[in-house]
Amino acid sequence: MADQQPSDTAPKWWSRPAAPGAQAQADSTAVAGPAPSQPDSDPSADPAPPAPEAAAVRYDPWGEQPLHVTDRGKAAGGGHLVRMRHALVLGLGIALLAGGIGGWLGVLAERQSSTRLELPQAGVESKNRAPESVAGIAATALPGVVTLHVRGSTGSGTGTGFVLDGQGHILTNNHVVSDAKDITVTFSTGESVTAELVGRDSGYDLAVVKVDGVRGLQPLSLGNSENVKVGDPVVAIGAPFDLSNTVTAGIISATGRPITAGGDKGDGSDISYVDALQTDAPINPGNSGGPLLDAKARVIGINSAIRGADASGDGAERAKQSGSIGLGFAIPVNQGKRVAEELIRTGRATHPVIGVTLDMEYTGDGARVGTKGEGGKPAVTPDGPGAKAGIQGGDVITKVDGVRVHGGDELVIKIRAHRPGDPLTLTVLRDGRERTLELVLGSANGS
């Protein structure tokens, strides 16, 4: 078998990088064809000298491969530093963000902690108050005070009253129920029941209503208005402007204050004459009929009227303001007690009288007895208390029990502050001379 010549041809799966100038040599071979065969050479002969280095490729700025190098990344060592730098920046950012959030949460927690813990506050204490305090008086009296809702032919209204006894009798003002068709009484507990009118008197501005079937009634204790002095503390309870169970406080600012109220009918039949207790405790519409209480929670008066401030309008118009200006008036409880007892017994009240007709047009000081009575009758009732005491027509009554009176209204008020049968001392002016007369009050049915 013939020896096989070693072949320079490399396997197909193997390749080597082309040497410089190799591509040019290949191209020339492709053009000229294969080189002529060389005779077998002696293997022992020296190998052919290596081909000279290919000439350096000259840069052609207009060629297809300009000398622009694309950065393919750093070496292995440079990439590690970049990753460390990125990690450091990321960690620093996270730290700053966490610090900011933590600081904000800390400030918020500190504020909330300060609000809850640093502001001082009193603990829960007993709600009991001294009996003579305003709160103690209110706590004692409120269960016995009621609010009256009245519906009549001319509309509806609200007033106040207070319980007199365990039978359900309630005292209030006449002007609260004078036009009543339906009366509803609401207690401080919120319970409401229907009430019936027992009796009323316009001259004293007092009325009594009654509720049935109510258990646990708490009557208020009655004081004595003769014991009241100017400056004594007082508490008023009522429903001003339909705000039930309203408590206000003040003092007695005057006693024996003669006032008249009513007169809406025009014929004088609804005028009330009160020798009133004056108070600066705020009283407003809706307080009418409510109790005026002393420091021992005893009723010393029945709130009845307020003095409104005159306000000038355009031209001759004048109006009265309805709010409290610190001048409230209460019927003394001694008078209220007597009238209430008569209304409960008979449905009517009696009025003390002196048996004379007064000249209400007289503008001088004092109360002048008229010269003629109604319907041509004598001004001094024959065999009446005044006639028996020696009063004559034209006399001017200037004092009652030594207290000066300045007009006819004041005289009526001073007389009605007494009971029928009470003795009085009158000072009268006749023919320019004063004289003293002793008189025993008579009785007449009220309206």
Q: What angle do CA 45, 47, 53 make, to 5 degrees?
A: 160
Distance between CA 165 and CA 171 in Å, rounded?
10
CB count within 10 Å of CB 437 equals 18
Q: Considering the candidates 169, 201, 205, 359, report the single residue annotated as catalytic.
A: 205
Distance between CA 127 and CA 247 in Å, rounded?
17
| DSSP output for 168-198 | -EEEE-HHHHTTEEEEEEEETTS-EEEEEEE
Distance between CA 257 and CA 270 in Å, rounded?
20
Q: Considering the candidates 169, 175, 351, 418, report the single residue annotated as catalytic.
A: 175
Catalytic residue status for 46:
no
Distance between CA 109 and CA 103 in Å, rounded?
10
Tell me whether strands 433-440 and 350-353 are parallel, antiparallel or unpaired: unpaired
Residues 6+ apart with CB under 8 A from 319: 310, 311, 313
Return left, alpha or beta for 13; rule: phi > 0 is left, psi -120 to 50 is alpha, else beta.
Answer: alpha
Q: Considering the candidates 288, 304, 359, 418, report the single residue annotated as catalytic.
A: 288
Residues 6+ apart with CB under 8 A from 32: none
Q: Are 198 and 168 in contact (CB under 8 A)?
A: no
Catalytic residue status for 149:
no
Identify the residue whose tokens are 């609000």: 115
Catalytic residue status for 205:
yes
Residues classed as catalytic: 175, 205, 288
